[in-house]
Amino acid sequence: MEKTRLMRNFRTSKYKKVSYFVNQNKNKWEVVEFPTNDIVRTFNKKIDAEMFSEQLVRVKPFGDRPLPNFMKRQIDICE
């Protein structure tokens, strides 16, 4: 008898669901995407960052997939 492979469908995928949270970085507030840990956008006020992250969680512009890189803020670490 052959061994049957367990097939993964969309609901039992190995990928984690995308979520967004707010992180404080000195005097700026950042909206961070989880599980990629990429910074989506930076705000001066906490309330603005929280409203933006709640909107992304509620609307989900790309479904269960993360935002494309061109829509995220790219950071160059330079000293």
For residue 35, the model assigns a pLDDT of 83
Model confidence at 25: pLDDT above 60: yes
Residue 59 contacts residue 18 (beta carbons within 8 Å): no
Q: Within a domain: residue 5? A: no
- Cα-Cα-Cα-Cα dihedral sign, residues 19, 23, 29, 33: negative
Whether residue 2 lies inside any domain: the answer is no
Q: Tell me if the bond preceding 68 is cis, omega within 30° of 0.
A: no
User: Is 47 a domain residue?
Assistant: yes
Contact 54, 48 (CB under 8 A): no
- Cα distance from N-terminal residue to C-terminal residue, the chain: 62
The answer as to whether 49 is a domain residue is yes
Greater pLDDT, 34 or 8: 34
Confidence at 76, pLDDT banded by 50, 70, 90: very low
Indicate whether 7 belongs to any domain.
Answer: no
Structural domain that includes position 51: 19-61
Kindly tell me if the per-residue pLDDT of 9 is higher than 70. Answer: no
Domain membership of residue 40 (yes or no) is yes
Q: Per the structure, how many domains does the chain have?
A: 1
